[in-house]
Amino acid sequence: MKLGARILKTGIAIVLSLYIGQLLHSPSPLFAGIAAIFAIQPTIYRSYLTIIEQIQGNLIGALLAVIFVLLLGNHIIVIGLAAIIVIIINLKLKLENTIGLSLVTLISIMETQSGSFIEFAGIRFSTIMIGVFSAFIVNLVFMPPKYENKLYLKIVDTTEEIIKWIRLSARHDYDHQLLKTDIKKFKDSINTMDLYYKMLKEERYYLKKNLPEKSRKLVIYRQLNITAKKALDTLKRLHRYENDLLQLPEEFKESIQNQLDSLIYHHEQVLLRFIGKIPTPPPYPEDNEYLNKKELFDFFLAHQKEYSDHNDPHLYHTMQIIAMIIDYGEQVEHLDTLITSFHSYHHNEVSVEDEYDD
């Protein structure tokens, strides 16, 4: 089991909230610790949004608790009714994430038997907000997330594995069951990449001079994700229609294999150029021959003429393979253009390089 940063931050936030609660002589610092658990978020920006939402949610819980106790008392049935209303209000205001802590606030206030109820309610509300702010401080100071590094490394690892399978599939030299299992893993990896990209997009830069670089990087990372997905789609087509590939003329099969080899080599080179492993522009550009779309399409047209029945599923399957390879190639070319443009502005200033070297 891996001990992640969020687990450590949750523990630190609990300790900090309990310490501040005791320092301020709160009668129930335990509620500050509970609030800290709810308020820990994976990014600083989400933590900021959580504070705004939790203030609203806790105010709803506290106000309803005071109103119900003053009007109906604190019988367990009254507490249950108040909880239902708190949930409904939070849902109506689209504060679903605050429902848990709102209910904690409600119950912690309504369970009192004290005579000075308003003062007690204020203390409980303040104690819970200590936990929320403690979580924000921890998120801001301790182990700030580096989603750019996580995203890039995930993209590289996933893309490299997909490329290996494409190379084997083009030669019809692989274990079918193992590939089927890995394709499912690749789908999970793609979902993780999308999640990391979303987290990276939410990160905020405090210096305006960093904003243009971040904006250009986000465009590149989005294209890196898209290109990895196209590589996976190509692999799935090669796997699904392997029998159709085997029926193609030898010259056509050899062309597909050569085109795929050139394409995935291009993809690998672009990934390395992004972090400065290969200079931009690449050396000896005349030697870098990648996807020849015209050759592939000409082979397909020539192959199509050999079939009198144009409704033959084999033709449609072959067309899908060629179309997917061409689409994948265009996405790699677009990624190449974006990375070349990025380096022309920022001179290889890519922060993922150090972690990638490790």
Give pLDDT, residue 147: 82
Which is it for the CA torsion 197, 202, 205, 209, positive or negative?
Answer: positive
First to last CA, the chain: 22
Q: What is the pLDDT of residue 334?
A: 94
What is the H or E stretch that residue 86 is in? helix 76-92
pLDDT given for residue 113 in this prediction: 58
Q: What is the pLDDT of residue 108?
A: 84
Give counts: helices (H), strands (E), the chain.
14, 0
Q: CA-to-CA distance for 355 and 120, rounded, in angstroms?
A: 51
Q: State the CATH class of domain 147-357.
A: mainly alpha
Q: What pLDDT does 58 receive?
A: 87
DSSP string of 166-199? HHHHHTT-S-HHHHHHHHHHHHHHHHHHHHHHHH
Environment class of 73 (CB within 10 Å of its CB; exposed 0-12, middle 13-18, buried 19+): exposed
Q: Locate the domains of the chain by residue range.
A: 5-141, 147-357
DSSP 190-233: HHHHHHHHHHHHH---SSGGGHHHHHHHHHHHHHHHHHHHHHHH
Q: Which parts of the chain sit beneath pLDDT 70?
A: 1-4, 113-115, 143-145, 204-211, 281-289, 307-310, 346-358
With 0-12 / 13-18 / 19 or more C-beta atoms within 10 angstroms meaning exposed / middle / buried, residue 260 is: buried
CA distance 174 to 198: 35
Torsion over CA: 73, 78, 79, 84 (sign) = negative
- For residue 358, what pLDDT is reported? 39
What dihedral angle (degrees, nearest 10) is formed by the CA atoms of 192, 195, 200, 204?
A: -150
Give the C-alpha separation, 256 to 249, whole Å.
11
Q: What are the pLDDT digits (tens) for 194-237? A: 998 988 887 765 545 556 777 888 999 999 999 999 999 999 99
Note the pLDDT of residue 205: 56
User: What is the model's pTM?
Assistant: 0.72
In the block, which residue shows the tokens 């050569």?
Answer: 258
Place of tokens 């009714």: 81
The answer for residues whose C-beta is within 8 angstroms of residue 254's C-beta and 6 or more apart is none
pLDDT of residue 141: 79
